[in-house]
Structure 1
Amino acid sequence: MSTVFFIFSLVLSLTFQPGLFAADPKGNGSNQISRACEHSPHKEFCLSVFQADPASTNADIKGLATIALKLAVKNTTEISVRVKSLLSDGTLEPGVQEDIYDCNKQYLDAVAQIDHAVVGFNMNDYQNVETWMKTAATQILTCQNKVKDMKSGVALELSKKSHAAHQLINTALGVVHAVAH
C-alpha cells in the first residue's frame, strides 16, 4: 500500500508543477541545455539526452532537471523489470543467476532512491536529492561491475544497460547540481 501511495504522490508532484516546462522567454533553449550539462561527467551524453527530447527545447534549468530525473526513473525502472524477468530464466548458470539476483536488489534500491530524489527535488531539497542520486549511481555501478567480465549474453546486455543507466543518473545529478547552485 505504501508503494502505491508513494507512486501516486510522485505522479501528483510531477503533474502539478506550474511552469515546470515553461518556455524560455528569450529562446535560449540551447544555452539552458549547455548550462544544464556543464556539471555532467559525460557532457556529450548529457547534450544528446536533451537534444533528443523535444520538451527540452523550451525548458528552463529546473524543467531540464525534471526531464532528466523522469528519464532516470523510467530507464532504471525498465531495467529493473528486465532484471527481474531474467531471474525466471532457468537456463542461466548458477553463478550468473546469483549475480542477476544481486543486480535485482541493486536496481530495486536504485529505483527507490531515484523516486525519493524526484520527490525531494519537487520540495527543493537539493542536498538530499544529490545524496539519493549518488547512492542510486553507486548501486547501478555495483551491478555493472558484477557482470561486466562475464561472457554470457545476458551479462553483456545487463552491463551495457547498466552503463547507460549510470550515465543517465549522472546526467540528472549534474543538472540537479546546476539547479542547486
Structure 2
Amino acid sequence: MRCLFFITFLVLLHNTMGCNDLIHLSCKKAAASDPNLSYNFCVSSLEAIPKSHGADLEQLVALTLNLTISNATSINSTISKLLLDKKFDKYAKECLQDCLELYSDAVPTLQEAVGAFKAKDYGKANIEISAAMDASSTCEDGFMEKKGEVYPLKRENDNFSQLNVISLAFMNTLGH
C-alpha cells in the first residue's frame, strides 16, 4: 500500500512539474534571447493563465498573443480615463491621444498576427507582432520629446512590450 501511494505521489508530482516545466524552459530561453525580457515576468504572466498549465508551445504562443490583445485593450481603457483627467496639459493630452490611436491600431494588428499564427504563417505573424509592439515605443517617444514631461504609461508600456517579445521568442522557437 505504501509503495502504491509513493508511486502515485511521484506520478502526480511529475505531471504537475511537467505542466510548468515548458513555461519555465520557454521563458528561460526567451529571456536569454532578449535582454529586455524578464524571465520572472514571462513565467508569472503565463502561470497566471490556467489554460497554460499543460499547454504545448504552440498553445503558449496563442495564449500569449491573446493576453497581449487583452493588455492592449486594457491600455486603451486606461488612456481613455487619463484623457479625462484635468491634471494633464495640452501637450500630454495630445500625446495620450496619439497613444490611444497607436494602441487602438495594435489590437487589430495583433488579431491579424493570431490569424497568421493559426495558419502557421510565422513570418507574417512575426511582422504583425513587431508592428504592434511599436505602439509602446512610439507612445513613450512622444512624451519624451518634451523635457520634463511625465510619462504616465511606463509600466503598461513595458508590460505590453514584454508580452510581444514573449510571443515573438516562443514563435521563433516553433519556426526552427
> Structure 2 length as normaliser, TM-score?
0.77
Gaps of 5+ in 1: 1-25
Total equivalences in the alignment: 153
What is the aligned partner in structure 1 of residue 158 from structure 2? 163
Task: Specify the structure having the higher radius of gyration (Cα).
Answer: 2
Helix, strand or coil: the match of 1:121? helix
Q: CA-to-partner distance for each residue in 1:2-31, whole Å, 9 max, x for gaps?
A: xxxxxxxxxxxxxxxxxxxxxxxx842233
Q: Which structure: greater helix fraction?
A: 2
Give CA deviations for 1:37-70 in whole Å, capped at 9, x if unaligned.
2124323321221222222121011111111111
Is 1:34 aligned with 2:30? no
Does the alignment pair 1:67 with 2:63?
Answer: yes
Distance 2:58 2:165 in 1: 16
Residue of structure 2 aligned with 1:97, choices 83, 90, 93: 93
Query: Is the CA contact (8 Å cut-off) linking 1:56 and 1:67 kept in structure 2?
Result: yes
CA contact (8 A) 1:110 1:140 kept: no
Q: CA deviation at 1:180?
A: 2.0
- The alpha-carbon distance between structure 1 residues 150 and 77, as it changes in their structure 2 partners (threshold 3 A), is farther
- 1:99 Cα deviation from its structure 2 partner: 0.7
Shift of 1:125: 1.1
Alignment map for 1:140-159 (pairs within 5 Å): 140-147=136-143, 150-152=148-150, 155-156=151-152, 158-159=153-154
TM-score (structure 1 length as normaliser): 0.75
Paired residue secondary structure (1:136)? helix
**CA 1:35–1:131 in 2, change beyond 3 Å: closer, same or farther?**
farther
- Counterpart residue number, 1:3: none
Larger relative contact order, structure 1 or 2 (CA cutoff 8 Å, min sep 6): 1
Instruction: Point out 4+ residue stretches in structure 1 off by more than 4 angstroms.
Output: 148-152
